[in-house]
Amino acid sequence: MMNFETARRKMVENQIRPTDVTAHPVISAFLSVPREAFLPQQSRQLAYIDEDILVKSANDAGPSRYMMEPSPLAKLVQLLDVSKKDVVLVVGAGDGYAAAILSLLAQSVVGIDSDEELVESVSSKFLELGYDNAAVVSGVLPEGYPSEAPYDAIFLNGAVEIVPEALLRQLRDGGRLVCVEGSGHAARATVYRRDGELFSSLASFNAAVKPLPGFAEAKTFEF
């Protein structure tokens, strides 16, 4: 039987710290949250490998969903720069792991996902594990969750081709949104910031992560 606590420490020491993740609250959160608890029972032995892990296979309701590899997730969380006064929205809360991590850094976390089965599972998991400042709801991912806006920080839990204006407008003035923009190895971690009615973006590091459903750029016909 795997010792998950030992595996968690090794994940932080061997996968997260060597990739320039130095913020102590972020490291502490990754040491604290049981990654295995947010995976299906048959996948828990894989919880601490340095790969994306399948959470739910594709079906009629949507594409396959994955838990993001630890290293890029930790770098993205560090980039989001969350403080204890922040209200955070996680778009594509899916497995619940990223929302649980952020709940240890923020005042409160709202997660949204389009898969009602995952939403129900994660809600039960938060209750079981005591993440009482985090909640997950079902909804259309590109639309965010405006009823709880504005947010100090928004995290897109997967790669996107475009960032909808509807999400950016749910940021508080001075708020930031972190995502992986693009596809494959050419994708870049990007921070968007709101300054009144203006939005700016700054690309950071390369990150190859699984796509978030619903954020494909509209195809245009060329003649």
| pLDDT of 123 | 97
More confident of the two residues 223 and 113: 113
For the segment 104-146, what is each residue's pLDDT rounded down to a tens digit?
999 999 999 999 999 999 999 999 999 999 999 999 999 999 9
Q: What is the mean pLDDT of the chain?
A: 94
Q: What is the pLDDT of residue 183?
A: 82
Residue 220 reports pLDDT greater than 70: no
Closest CA to 176 of 195, 159, 157: 195
Mean pLDDT, residues 177-197 taken together = 93
Residue with tokens 């996948």, as numbered in its chain: 43
Per-domain residue ranges for the chain? Answer: 4-206
User: What is the distance between the alpha carbons of residues 50 and 102, in angstroms, rounded to a whole number?
Assistant: 20
Q: Determine the CATH number of domain 4-206.
A: 3.40.50.150
Q: Is the pLDDT of residue 59 over 90?
A: no
Quick one: average pLDDT of 176-189? 92
Please, are residues 209 and 159 in contact by the beta-carbon 8 Å criterion? Answer: yes
pTM comes to 0.95
Q: Distance between CA 9 and CA 176 in Å, rounded?
A: 30
pLDDT category at 223 given cuts 50, 70, 90 is low
